[in-house]
Amino acid sequence: MPAMRVSGFVSLVAASVMAAAQAGTPPPVWTAQDSGTTAGLRGIDSVDGTVAWASGTAGTVLKTTDGGAHWQKCAIPDGDKDGATLDFRGVQAWDAQTAIVMASGPGEKSRLYKTTDGCNSWRLLLTNPDKDGFWDTYRRDQHGHEGILIGDPVNGHFAIWQIDRDDSSFQIKRLRHTPRVHKGEAAFAASNSAIFVDDVFFDFWVATGSKNGARVIKRIDHDFDSFGFDTFPSSVVPVGQRAESSGIFGLSFRKGPHTSNPEKHFLNGIAVGGDYTKPNEKAGTAAWSSDGGEHWTASTTPPHGYRSAVQWSESEKLWITVGTNGSDISRDDGKTWQPLDNGNWNALSLPFVVGPNGRIARLNPDAIPEP
């Protein structure tokens, strides 16, 4: 049945594109879907383009198993208590039955919940033990074995948990040795993408912002027990405006050719952000790295405003970034960006994008401008 629904949905999109072409108007890059909610959505995780999960304010968790043709409203975690007051800024899913949602809020309002029955019921995994803490991002690696949860600094250091998954349970442990922060430095919870977790060596990178500028902090893999960290680079990353409301909001990497040896591969990185209080400001909204995050260069032609999430599309061979005044693409690994639309978006997990007031849309590849 799901396959039939997806086929029908794709046919509907194709029909709308053809109708737009016949009418002489360009088809939309993002095809709007009916989410059935007016909640502000900041969490989205596409398992395979057919199964996807979304999350947001007022305890909202949504799921689709037919590519977005229908979105199911899930049971509210702790719905009989205070679940409807929680803001689920992040969701990570393994399939149509298993997912974890992260609530972001002061102190105990930051929580992790897990479902294994397709969101009919939820189990509380972890409550923030730091009364002055605030969780920003929970991301699993691409194989779904391990995850990293990061919160705002406590006592001058980032709060970070490692979450190991096996066939029977989750093991959760707080890391003892975590990066010391600059005054006022923190991560952002705008799109559940302030960290990137590698799926090979379990390295991970943390993106920050502050009045002192933005940084990317990388975990060193050579000493797993102590969880040492390096900071790349020693100076600031050219993203943001050196304000409390600015910095890197979205961070992602993809495997690419080594800059000096074509037979080797390195991670090409994109950092996006800016100042969320100045959504139309273009300066300082994106930077790129070709050496795994050691050095960063500002985009020559940046996105056309503040951006909160970014992702590489392997099928389209380009980067897509989204924010509150629209979306942009880059075909040259972040050096230059081209506007896509002027919508209002918070988070991205291709082919889906989410935003305020229950906005969910699916990417229409045929509407992406030619190079």
pLDDT in tens, 295-354: 899 999 999 999 999 999 999 999 999 999 999 999 999 999 999 999 999 999 999 999
Identify the three-state secondary structure at position 344: coil
Q: Evaluate if residue 122 carries a pLDDT over 80.
A: yes
d(CA 345, CA 356): 7
- pLDDT, residue 230, reads 52
Lowest mean pLDDT among 29-43, 70-84, 87-101, 265-279: 265-279
Per-residue pLDDT tens over the stretch 41-98: 999 999 999 999 999 999 999 999 999 999 999 999 999 999 999 999 999 999 999 9
Contact between residue 350 and residue 45 where contact means Cβ atoms under 8 Å apart: no
Could you tell me which residues are beta bridge partners of residue 32?
Answer: 361
- pLDDT, residue 26, reads 78
- pLDDT, residue 177, reads 79
The model carries a pTM of 0.89
Lowest mean pLDDT among 3-17, 44-58, 197-211: 3-17
Q: Evaluate if residue 222 carries a pLDDT over 70.
A: no
Could you tell me which residues are beta bridge partners of residue 88?
Answer: 103
The better pLDDT of the pair 260, 183 is held by 183
Q: Evaluate if residue 231 carries a pLDDT over 80.
A: no
| Residue 347: HSE in the Cβ half-sphere, 13 Å Cα cutoff | 28
% of the chain residues with pLDDT over 90: 71
Burial class from Cβ neighbours inside 10 Å (0-12, 13-18, 19+) for residue 245 reads middle
* Domain boundaries, given as residue ranges, for the chain: 2-367
- pLDDT, residue 226, reads 44
Write the CB contacts of 322 (distance below 8 Å, at least 6 apart in sequence).
307, 308, 309, 310, 343, 345, 346, 347, 348, 353
Tokens standing for residue 310: 């970014």
The top-level CATH class assigned to 2-367 is mainly beta
Could you tell me which residues are beta bridge partners of residue 330?
Answer: 319
